[in-house]
Copies of this chain bind each other. A is one copy, B any other.
Amino acid sequence: MDKNLSGKVIHRLTQYHCIVMNMEEQGKDVVSGPCIAKLLKIDDSQVRKDMKILGKAGKTKVGYKVSEMKRIIEKILGFEKAKDAFIVGSGNLGLALAKYDDFNFYGFKIRAMFDNDPLKINIAVNGKQVFHISKLPELAKKMSVEIAVLTVPRKFAQETCDYLVTSGIKYIWNFTPTVLDVPDNIQVWNENLIGNFLQFTKDI
């Protein structure tokens, strides 16, 4: 992926991709800028600006070519480059994410799951085996995995995080409602679901 893309641009490109994927399924060949802007409730000029990043993506008199826009976004966002990850915590959310096949399409590959519950060890979920957490350092090294999705219960979040860091994990996608204390060289993305909910429903 182009590392100079801002977070906001990455988000909009992902959403443009959702739109053209949907249009392609509906057999539509062309999509107009104003149509995209209306669906996303953003300004038309923003779409035009983003399209310059895509090299206009097959601009015609009536709009952009759906297949070409899709292909160019996939190239820019690097969907073809697999990024291997572990899911740490095989509870409901961990299992749901493991079963979410759409992730594969975007290059996000779950290679294995981990838990400390003996009842869960060795089961396979959607082709992903659950290992005991003590196997993580060895498997992270062997499989060259640096990304972990953290879905353990809140009270175990920090100690599990510390263990991931000592195991060589560099990127932690944090689904727990916890602020993790990590060294500066570790990237954490907090999936702040509660914050999103409160923001989205603040007028109620």
**Chain A residues with a Cβ under 8 A of chain B:** 1, 3, 5, 7, 10-11, 14-15, 18-19, 22, 25, 39-41, 77-78, 83, 91-93, 95-96, 99-100, 102-103, 106, 108, 146-147, 154-155, 158, 171, 173, 177-179, 181, 184, 187, 189-204
- Kindly list chain B residues whose C-beta atoms are within 8 Å of the C-beta of A192: 11, 14-15
Please tell me which one of the listed residues B96, B103, B155 contacts residue A92 in the complex, with CB atoms under 8 A apart: B96
Q: How many copies of this chain are found per oligomer?
A: 2
Separation in Å of the A93 CB from the closest CB of chain B?
4
A-B contact pairs, 25 of them (CB 8 A): A1-B202, A3-B203, A10-B198, A14-B192, A14-B194, A15-B192, A18-B177, A18-B178, A19-B179, A22-B158, A22-B178, A22-B179, A25-B155, A78-B198, A92-B95, A93-B96, A103-B194, A103-B197, A146-B204, A147-B201, A147-B204, A171-B204, A173-B196, A173-B200, A187-B201
